[in-house]
């Protein structure tokens, strides 16, 4: 079994063990959502607070493992190493969010926005790194009609997407220094803008290829 897969499984099991251990100590109602001010504005049962994140990971993780096997293009297998480590990063991100949530409910009053900003920054950077290595496939990446229609468009779009999402990760880290709506804007606005631009870029690149002389269209 690949090392990244093993680590992912260990993290999920560790979260479940921590949840079982803390269950008798936790209040019946726990905070599960926070507003931009940093104040808790949503509550749920302690089962939800203790086990929702690891259950989500436990459900999504097997799906991540299945996708490379059912991908008709077999494209994920061409960057499987990076893909597996990205899956580990996702599981670790969920575990981090879980840990911060538990810490707050155990009495450690953290600034949730500032705690999440670095984790999201690392996640966005990891997405960028994966994009730069990805190959044409049916499940992972910027799957527009134009990237799926031409491998050259896929490669160009994902090369650019890798750089843009790494930049988004750096900007999200700056969100640690901001508060409220400004922090949210630094974290999310660049991702939204980059995603929209990449859709346009894939269309534009495909149109240029189609407008080129026919003898130059094939690699």
Domain shared by 84 and 149, yes or no? no
CA 158 to the chain's CA centroid: 16
Domain shared by 28 and 132, yes or no? no
Domain shared by 7 and 27, yes or no? yes
Other Cβ atoms less than 10 A from the Cβ of 115: the count is 19
Task: Give residue-wise pLDDT tens across range 103-114.
Answer: 999 988 888 888
Query: Which pLDDT belongs to residue 217?
Result: 53
Domain shared by 219 and 183, yes or no? yes
Dist CA 16 CA 54 (whole Å)? 6
Q: Choose one of 110, 139, 174: the last residue of a domain.
A: 110
Domain shared by 83 and 153, yes or no? no
Q: Choose one of 81, 110, 139: the last residue of a domain.
A: 110
Domain count, the chain: 2
Domain shared by 98 and 166, yes or no? no
Domain shared by 156 and 180, yes or no? yes
Domain shared by 122 and 89, yes or no? no
Block residue for tokens 């480590």: 85
Nearest by Cα to 171 from 103, 109, 117: 117
Domain shared by 47 and 118, yes or no? no
Burial class (CB in 10 A: 0-12, 13-18, 19+), 73: middle
Query: Which pLDDT belongs to residue 182?
Result: 86
- The pTM (predicted TM-score) of the whole model is 0.88
Task: Give residue-wise pLDDT tens across range 18-30.
Answer: 999 999 999 999 9
3-class secondary-structure state, position 146:
coil
Q: What is the dihedral of CA 49, 52, 57, 62, to 10 degrees?
A: 160
Domain shared by 2 and 90, yes or no? yes
Domain shared by 14 and 94, yes or no? yes
Spans of the chain below 70 pLDDT: 1, 214-219
Range of the domain at 117: 111-219
User: Phi-psi category of 3—alpha, beta or left, where left has phi over 0 and alpha has psi -120 to 50?
Assistant: alpha
Query: Which pLDDT belongs to residue 153?
Result: 97
In 3-state terms the chain splits into helix, strand, coil percentages (rounded to 5) of 75, 5, 20
Query: Which pLDDT belongs to residue 215?
Result: 53
Q: Choose one of 71, 92, 110: the last residue of a domain.
A: 110
Query: Which pLDDT belongs to residue 41?
Result: 87
End-to-end CA distance of the chain: 37
Domain shared by 140 and 65, yes or no? no
Dist CA 192 CA 173 (whole Å)? 16
């Amino acid at each position: 079994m690949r090392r990244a897969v093993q680590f992912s499984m260990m993290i999920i099991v560790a979260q479940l063990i921590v949840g079982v251990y803390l269950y008798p100590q936790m209040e019946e109602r726990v905070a599960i959502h926070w507003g931009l001010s940093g104040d808790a504005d949503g509550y749920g049962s302690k089962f939800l607070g203790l086990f929702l994140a690891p259950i989500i990971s436990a459900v999504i993780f097997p799906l991540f493992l299945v996708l490379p096997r059912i991908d008709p293009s077999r494209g994920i297998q061409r960057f499987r190493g990076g893909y597996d480590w990205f899956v580990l990063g996702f599981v670790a991100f969920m575990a981090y969010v879980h840990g911060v949530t538990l810490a707050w409910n155990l009495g450690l009053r953290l600034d949730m926005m500032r705690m999440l900003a670095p984790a999201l920054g690392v996640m966005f950077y990891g997405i960028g790194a994966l994009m730069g290595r990805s190959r044409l496939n049916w499940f992972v990446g910027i799957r527009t009609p134009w990237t799926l229609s031409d491998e050259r468009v896929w490669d160009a779009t994902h090369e650019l997407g890798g750089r843009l999402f790494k930049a988004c990760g750096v900007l999200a880290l700056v969100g640690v220094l901001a508060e409220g709506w400004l922090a949210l804007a630094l974290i999310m606005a660049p991702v939204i803008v980059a995603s929209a631009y990449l859709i346009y870029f894939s269309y534009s690149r495909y149109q240029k290829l189609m407008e080129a002389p026919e003898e130059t269209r094939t690699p």
